[in-house]
Structure 1
């Protein structure tokens, strides 16, 4: 069984920010290959009866989350600024990430989008922001953004989001090991990598 870990993340997700920024070196140290699986939380939340982020629906939970995120980011040495709008649409970024999921640039792109949203308070739904990130990576921005808007890319992201629901994913970040174990939350990243690297004997 390959030492891989499926990493299901959402660009609008606050705790996904922490995991996107941390997973690269942790996975290398664990000898685990990351499979980047961008998806959309909106349809997942709708299937649960929510029409918004639960952090907005339940204000005390939201206030706790932002303070928790600030504490954790400080502890990890990550920049953090509470976005002026939450959640922002991660649709375009997710489509581009889907195109790059198997490419060497996926990690750098994902980290760039997350920094834009949760450190620089930029609107990641703005094609100009995404174009700037792609340009900064030396990638063909116009071609990728055009491809992201094509019907087959839109359908692929819809299918991947549907697959998340079929796998029992209900939030982000989530991690799935080769033997099917599901781990949810940034605080389970290390546990997921450890399991993927050395799954317990049955």
Structure 2
């Protein structure tokens, strides 16, 4: 099956849209998705940015929030602007890495995005994340401690460095097996089509 890497930061608004539909869209195309949580902060910092460009450029930010309202309404997804924005997504990303190893990472990813942008919850909070882990049948304290292990922290650092080396500059981003990079939720369908076409061209 063709594969597609889904690079996302839990603080990313448009990653919410992709996370809530990529599973169904990929299954319909016969594409295997590899979830790649990472952190945009270090990538922004390398460009001299101290926060999201949506905060640095007020007009762009205002458009983004209105765009999210329209797109979520069209997709029939709940939407609530989290405060503060962007959220600190480090612990959520570390948890997702653990979950992807253990088979619950994809569900956790959807759950976190829905809590953050569907209900406006603070995903930097251990209490919030613990409440999201329990319905998955996980012990919050034990799972969070495993996510905070030095080796797992290093994994996230390496994953973020790999994203930067791949040329990723924003989220969501999608990378095909052949290295083709697509940026933005509005490019998800094209990325899936490209992944399929790549495999067919190699046959």
TM over 0.5: yes
Counterpart residue number, 2:134: 135
Alpha-carbon separation, structure 2, partners of 1:139 and 1:183:
34
Say what the alpha-carbon RMSD is for the aligned residues.
Answer: 1.3
User: Structure 2: which 5+ runs fail to align?
Assistant: none
Q: Confirm whether residue 64 of structure 1 aligns to residue 59 of structure 2.
A: no
Flag structure 1 segments of 5+ consecutive residues without an equivalent.
Answer: none
Tell me, yes or no, if the aligned pair for 1:35 and 1:101 is still in contact at 8 Å. Answer: no
Mark the CA change 1:103 to 1:30 in structure 2 (over 3 Å): closer, same or farther: farther
What is the TM-score when the length of structure 2 is the normalising length?
0.95
Give, in angstroms, the shift of residue 201 of structure 1. Answer: 4.0
C-alpha distance 195-29 of structure 1, shift in aligned 2 (>3 A): same
Correspondence for 1:192: 191
Partner-residue secondary structure (3-state), 2:36: strand
User: How far apart are 1:119 and its partner, in Å?
Assistant: 1.1
Q: 1:103 & 1:147 partners in 2: Cα distance?
A: 12
> How far apart in 1 are the matches of 2:9 and 2:168?
12
Deviation sequence 1:102-138 (CA, Å, 0-9, x none): 4432221111101111011111000111111110111
Whole-Å separation in 2 of the counterparts to 1:138 and 1:27? 26
Tell me if the contact between 2:7 and 2:172 (Cα under 8 Å) persists in the aligned partners: yes
Q: Which residue of 2 aligns with 1:48?
A: 47
Contact 1:96 1:144 in 2 (8 A): yes
